[in-house]
Amino acid sequence: MVDPTPYYEDEIDLRQLLQTLVDGWKVIAAITAFAVAVSGVASFFVIAPTYQAQALVMLNDLKLNAPVEPLALGPETYVTLAESPSFFRKFSEDLGIIGEFRVTDKPYSVNVADDKRTLMITVKDHDPRRAAAMANAAAAELVIHSAAINAGNLQGAIDAQLASAQSNLRSLQDLAAKTPRTYALKESLANDPTFAALVGQRLGIRPDQAAQLTMTVEVLNPVWQDLQTKITEAQTTIQDLEQERSRILAAAAQGDELAQAFRARAKSDALGDGLLNLNQTQLSSLAITSPAVEPLKPVAPRKALNMAVAAVLGVMVGVFAVFFLDFWRRPVSAATVTRDAA
């Protein structure tokens, strides 16, 4: 008795797959060449080149011969400062690019180097000279802002100490005004026999009679003397603080002059000598160690990489297209096998 049982079997023939790829090599080559060509045209002629410039700023310990020290700011504080709208506004004013960039889309980035003392200001722009100018302008504004922050902190601390010293001086002067400068001290001549004998001879009396006499002596009040010493010390302290305050104000004015000199030339030449002159600012905790220079080669687009990626994608798309065309052209069939059973 014969019981034919049909069944379907799907087989993957490696030889057939390879033959499909061989037969469709022209399709693969055409798609790959098209992808590489499009990538090449876009990389060389469509996408504008992007240049990168970088300036380095070193964080230094500000040493001053002052009764107060400025508040030490870490590198992360300056990174946060560079992200602030006020900093970005001054940066834009320096270069005359107000409105070209949004606060949330700044053209620069500030990062802390591995040594935790160096700030890296990186700028990417389609104009190589403007990229270097923007990096230097951002570095300059960090130095200027650092000097302004330290000047404000020092002036505030000195003013507070000066007010305290002046208040202390007034208190001492009030107390000294209420304290008698001298006081009367009665002494018996018996305490000084020699002096008693001299007094007796002068008065024509016996020494024992002179020893019974007393005298009144006016002496300086030690409390008043101590107050005068403290008043002198307080006046010296106030004088030192006033001199230091004047020195801080002069240093701040010098920093402002350097900042104005840089800003006046930043629009036309942010790469000039005015940039490094900012390192002479006495109150800044930052110094520009490596100004940005005009880059010679763009960092983007990376033409070779783009074309290589396009070639890989082109091959993948070509292989997919070849198999799809082969599948589309091949009719759907089912193999029916008849099995004889005894």
Q: pLDDT for 174-223, tens place per residue?
A: 999 998 888 776 767 667 677 677 777 777 777 777 667 776 767 788 88
Q: How far is CA 234 from CA 6, 159, 167, 240, in A?
A: 115, 15, 10, 10
Cα–Cα distance between 42 and 40 in angstroms, integer?
5
Helix axes 303-329, 25-41, angle to 10 degrees: 150
Cα–Cα distance between 240 and 248 in angstroms, integer?
12
**CB-based contacts of 209, cutoff 8 Å, min separation 6:** 200
Helix axes 85-95, 222-266, angle to 10 degrees: 50
Question: Of residues 10 and 92, which shows the higher confidence score?
Answer: 92
Question: Of residues 198 and 55, which shows the higher confidence score?
Answer: 55
Domains and CATH numbers, the chain: 1-47+302-342 (no CATH), 48-177+232-300 (3.30.1890), 182-220 (no CATH)
Cα–Cα distance between 87 and 107 in angstroms, integer?
13
Q: How far is CA 158 from CA 164, 166, 231, 285, 342, in A?
A: 10, 12, 19, 19, 114
pLDDT 10s digits, 94-113: 888 877 787 778 889 999 99
316 pLDDT tier (thresholds 50, 70, 90): very high
**337: helix, coil or strand?**
coil
- In terms of phi and psi (left: phi > 0; alpha: psi -120 to 50; beta: otherwise), the region of 294 is beta
Tokens of 253: 């004015």
Cα–Cα distance between 255 and 286 in angstroms, integer?
13
CA 65-71-74 angle, 5° bins: 120
Cα–Cα distance between 243 and 127 in angstroms, integer?
49
User: Residue 190, class by beta-carbon neighbours within 10 Å (0-12 exposed, 13-18 middle, 19+ buried)?
Assistant: middle
Q: Which of 113, 129, 124 is nearest to 79 (CA)?
A: 113
Sheet holding 286-290, edge to edge: 108-112, 118-125, 51-59, 286-290
| pLDDT in the model for residue 123 | 93
Tokens of 333: 């069939």
Mean per-residue pLDDT for 38-48? Answer: 89
Helix (H) or strand (E) holding 143: helix 128-178
As a whole-number percent, the residues of the chain with pLDDT over 90 amount to 33
| pLDDT in the model for residue 142 | 93
As a whole-number percent, the residues of the chain with pLDDT over 70 amount to 84
Q: Please answer whether residues 314 and 33 qualify as being in contact, where contact means their C-beta atoms are separated by less than 8 angstroms.
A: yes
Mean per-residue pLDDT for 222-241? Answer: 92
| pLDDT in the model for residue 101 | 82
Tokens of 278: 């900012």
Phi then psi for residue 180, to 5 deg, are -65, 140
| pLDDT in the model for residue 2 | 47
Q: What is the DSSP letter of 50?
A: B
The whole model's pTM is what?
0.73
Cα–Cα distance between 24 and 320 in angstroms, integer?
11
Question: Of residues 226 and 195, which shows the higher confidence score?
Answer: 226
Cα–Cα distance between 170 and 238 in angstroms, integer?
12
| pLDDT in the model for residue 153 | 86
